[in-house]
Structure 1
Amino acid sequence: MSDAPKAANPTGADPEANQPGLGDLRVIVANHLKRRLPGRSTMREDVAAGMSIAVGNVPDGMANGFLVGVNPIHGLYATIMGPIVGGALSSTQLMVITTTAAASLTASQPLADMPVEARTGALFVMVVLAGLFQLLFAVLGLARLTRFVSYSVTTGFLTGIAVLLILSQLPTIAGYPVLGANRVMQTLDLMVHIQEVNPAALGLAVMTIALARWLPRTPLRGFGRLVAIIIPSLIVALFHIDGVQLVRDLGEIGRSMPTPDMPSMLRLAPGVLTGALSIAAVVT
């Protein structure tokens, strides 16, 4: 038997400790002050893990930026700054700070009715307000209410997010500018005009999905999804395929990090406040 000391269990007889993984997570969080900075013995593994996450965040960040409805480069900015700030302040080694599809989809709803040029400023204010709402939740102790959320509700919510994600990307995959007040109506419009689907855009999308599923299982591993984006992009560039929308078509890509700027609050729609509250509730 091992004589290694065991960390005290802070949950005691709390019935919440019976939830899968929650007891172990709270043990780590309660003992996070005892952590040590990584030493030279683990430097190689830490660098490899960081490289893997960084490479994987490139396509994820661009996809989430596109999902929100802004220039995908802003998704990359989020994946750069989020891990730096969040990693320094996080209380557990089990948490990866990154963008999520659920938060991106929630943010896209109030921005959908705004002009494209106004979305970036509105998104900035929305993210700041969402952070302030989360701080307010913590001060008021509202996080304890999450114990009353059942797994069935969580599963249903994530399933709904997954369905909306698929519906939101169908127009892009098909290369057809759909019309409709919501994702369902837009999908119906696409089905009615299925003959107008762009074969080049659809073929590239199917290729990218197949490569993204297959390449991570090869020796490329964490680099697989990045290569899955590079290969179709090279095909479009080398063969000059027309009718396929590029990232540069959505806006100019800067060569440096953007300068922080507070947009005029008077130009923002009232939905920004409710959108920030929704984001705070979803990510909490």
Structure 2
Amino acid sequence: MQNLNKLFVKYRPDLISGLTTATIALPQNMAYALILGINPIYGIYASIFSMLVASVFNLSSYIIVGPTNMMAIALYSSLHNFQGQDYLQIIFLTTFLIGLFQFLLVTFNLSELVKYVSHPVVVALSHGAAVLILFSQLKNFTGINIQGANVLSKFWSFILNISQLNYLNLLIGVTTILLIYLIPLIKKELPEYIITIIIMTIFTFLTGIDNSIPLIGKLPKQVIDFNLVNFDWKLIGLVYSKAFSIALLGLIQTMAVLQAISLKTEEEVDFKREFKSQGITNMVIAFFSSFAISASFSNTFANLSAGARHKVSQLFCALAIIIFILFFRPLLAYVPVAVLAGLIITAAFGIFDFKEVIKNMKTTKGDAIIFWSTFTATLIFPNLDHAIYFGILISLVVILQISKKADIEMLYYNKKEDESGYHLRQKSKQADITAQQARVIDLKGAVHFSAADDLKAKLADFYEPETDFIIRMRNARRVDITIIGVLEEFIDQVQASGAEVMLTGVNKRILKMMRKIGLTEKIGEDNIYLPETEYFAATHKALDFSNNNHE
């Protein structure tokens, strides 16, 4: 008995946080099933079984997995053309393939690729998905039959069919949104989602309007719905590329949640373990009538805020949902579809972060191009997976354009009054420096072969016959053989005019490479200066040597 008391005391915070998170996860995950156009029970299945499996394989003490708006809209945009008799089986097959791809990416150390998806792509995808989510629920929210392959065509369809507007349906949806925003104003700790559903369900039942608006309807009785995934090779051929892109999206979202959690808790994150857990979870839940999941921002932070301390909180959350379904299933039949649509729309509003958008606009021109290109593609392309690939492609194009520029500049200088060194600056107070005065060139960053032409052009601009050149490499992290070749040509040109080239701040790794290819013999070991503790110390020595030689 004493041991049970100790266990209760130890896990009491996790029990409370699990119960609290369940009040948010249950209504949200039912709503996410609605995005896919399937019975909300499948959102409950996905919620329960993903938490049960992840509570075994996850490492994080705080993370809560389950259906998310991003994953739901990605699945819907990729698979809505398959809606029909085999739609559910195609969803389950795609979910299994998503998990398999995630597991294989981690197994072969390719999951690191998600870290190279630029931040503007992720922000643009999330905001574009928010718009897609809003349009996906217009039919359920307003009662208007909307058709179209993308946002533009759906909006036009909405305008053309505005006469179909169901005012009662709209009123239920708007009231739902208002309640979700108003309840926290009464008391912040109140679970606004579950309270809203209870209020609107009771209202629907008591007023008798259930005959005038669409309801969720009767839910299946079974809590466990085991099914065999249909591994049809023809279907696999149709959905595997879509599954791969959604697998990447799931890992990106999980990575973002883990990074945010680590900042708040200082928890050491094992990305590979969490990614592999997600892959295993998606493969397993596909056999339990569930659709693809990832780490959930809202549920994870609700779990953290409620006081979770161990990963068992996720297990308690799953058990709480099971208990709720067993006892309150009949009442869920009276939940209006417009209420779930209101929950989804509220969640979509929560994605919008205009400060983050402005930040992407103002940081660099490249970030702005990546953001707007990906965001536009998300709205125009018929499938979200196309927008993901397009965003990554634009990122690569921008990176290649940036890498074509060599980070190199001339440093101007004059002797200090105490003659203990030099003032080195990017711009001279004078119009120019005198001919034959040694010129200091600062080469920075990782300079790749793509920047060879730009480097050659800039060195040609800096060149002055019979003038010594000091190439400062303290901040050069990496140079490849093509760049070395450009530098070698420049050295030959300078030496042919009777002057010398000195390299300063050369780190041991670059020096070793230069020795291997014979560049140190061409320059002379005495003209190569290793980095010193004092900034510009090696450059000052080179300047002294050059100026003394020309006195």
Normalised-by-shorter TM-score class: 0.7 to 0.9
- Residue identity in the other structure for 2:214: Q
Equivalence map 1:1-284=2 (5 Å): 39-219=7-187, 221=189, 223-241=191-209, 242-248=211-217, 253-256=219-222, 257-263=224-230, 265=232, 268=235, 270-284=237-251
Q: Provide the rounded CA distance (Å) in 2 between the counterparts of 1:118 and 1:195.
A: 33
Q: TM-score, structure 1 length as denominator?
A: 0.79
Asked if 2 retains the 8 angstrom alpha-carbon contact of 1:87 and 1:97, the reply is no
Asked if 2 retains the 8 angstrom alpha-carbon contact of 1:110 and 1:271, the reply is no
Deviates more, 1:199-208 or 1:167-176: 167-176
Asked if 2 retains the 8 angstrom alpha-carbon contact of 1:131 and 1:280, the reply is yes
Larger Rg: 2
The 3-state SS of whatever aligns with 2:82 is coil
Q: Provide the rounded CA distance (Å) in 2 between the counterparts of 1:235 and 1:41.
A: 40
Asked if 2 retains the 8 angstrom alpha-carbon contact of 1:82 and 1:97, the reply is yes
* CA displacement 1:175-206 (0-9 Å, x = unmatched): 11112233431222112322321101100000
Unaligned stretches of 5+ residues in structure 2: 1-5, 252-551
Q: Provide the rounded CA distance (Å) in 2 between the counterparts of 1:232 and 1:221.
A: 20
Higher strand share: 2
- Residue identity in the other structure for 1:136: L
The alignment covers a number of residue pairs equal to 244
Q: Provide the rounded CA distance (Å) in 2 between the counterparts of 1:282 and 1:127.
A: 13
- Residue identity in the other structure for 2:87: R
Q: Provide the rounded CA distance (Å) in 2 between the counterparts of 1:253 and 1:79.
A: 16
Asked if 2 retains the 8 angstrom alpha-carbon contact of 1:133 and 1:277, the reply is yes
4+ aligned runs moved over 6 Å, structure 1: none
What is the percent sequence identity of the aligned residues? 25
Q: Provide the rounded CA distance (Å) in 2 between the counterparts of 1:190 and 1:263.
A: 36
- Residue identity in the other structure for 1:102: M
Q: Provide the rounded CA distance (Å) in 1 between the counterparts of 2:161 and 2:137.
A: 16
The structural deviation recorded for 1:215 is 1.9
* CA displacement 1:122-167 (0-9 Å, x = unmatched): 1111111110000111022122223322322221111111111111
* CA displacement 1:84-117 (0-9 Å, x = unmatched): 1112211111321121111111111232122333
* CA displacement 1:61-86 (0-9 Å, x = unmatched): 11111112211110010111111111
Question: For the aligned residues, what is the CA RMSD?
Answer: 2.1
The structural deviation recorded for 1:269 is 7.3
Q: TM-score, structure 2 length as denominator?
A: 0.42
Q: Provide the rounded CA distance (Å) in 1 between the counterparts of 2:144 and 2:220.
A: 28
Q: Provide the rounded CA distance (Å) in 2 between the counterparts of 1:210 and 1:116.
A: 35
* CA displacement 1:211-231 (0-9 Å, x = unmatched): 122224444735321111122
The structural deviation recorded for 1:264 is 6.0
